[in-house]
Amino acid sequence: MIILGAKGHAKDVLSVLAKNKQLQDLYFFDDVSKDLSEKLYGIYPIINSIDEAKLVLQQSPEFAIGLGSPKSRSFLCSKFLSLGGKLQAVISTSASIGQYDVELGPGLNIMANVYISNGVKLSTGVLINAGALLHHDVSIGRFSEISPGAIITGEVTIGDFVSIGAGATILPKVKIGNNVVIGAGAVVTKDIPDHTVAVGVPAKIIKSNY
């Protein structure tokens, strides 16, 4: 399997795969960074070209996302799907996931010690980072990122390509639009429209047309 990325979040994904004992035939992909060695931690090969990635996918088409940024997650995912790759989820064995009316889309990253209640719906490519809490009847759109320790309370709706900062809290029934950034530690008490950045306690919009 190829992990998209070889820095930052990709290393956290490796931790989950190690605990899940899913390390066989594992590669990492990064065609941007110039400071990488040939192997991550001297063990796992790093692919640095699309041509090389094609060869690996011909042997084993599975790939997973190891990037944090919603737009980067979406871009590389689309690229690898166009090459014939098969998108896989990475889900930590320490995550607690509800048993009723839970919908998990393809290509998720659900990291260590995440709590997901019942009635939760996660779309394609969503990242739920370590220690985040998702309470009942939450819906999260495509490729959105919930950072470590964030609290998403009941009946919250989050759109596509959203980034919720570390330790942020989204209060019940709030709706967050598409392409929104919520700052670390923010407390969101009311709906946030598309293409905005909101920070603070309570959260206020500081930038529009983002």
Binding site: residue ranges?
A: 68
**Residues contacting 119, CB < 8 A, separation 6+:** 98, 100, 101, 102, 136, 137, 138
CA-nearest of 136, 143, 152 to 188 is: 152
Chain position carrying tokens 């594992």? 26
Q: Which residues are annotated as a binding site for substrate?
A: 68
CA distances from 6 to 17, 27, 73, 106, 163 (A): 14, 9, 13, 21, 21
- Cβ atoms of 176 and 195 within 8 Å: the answer is no
Known catalytic residues are 136
Give me 139's structure tokens: 């819906």
Question: Within 10 Å of residue 82's Cβ, how many Cβ atoms?
Answer: 8
CA distances from 132 to 3, 25, 89, 143 (A): 22, 30, 17, 16
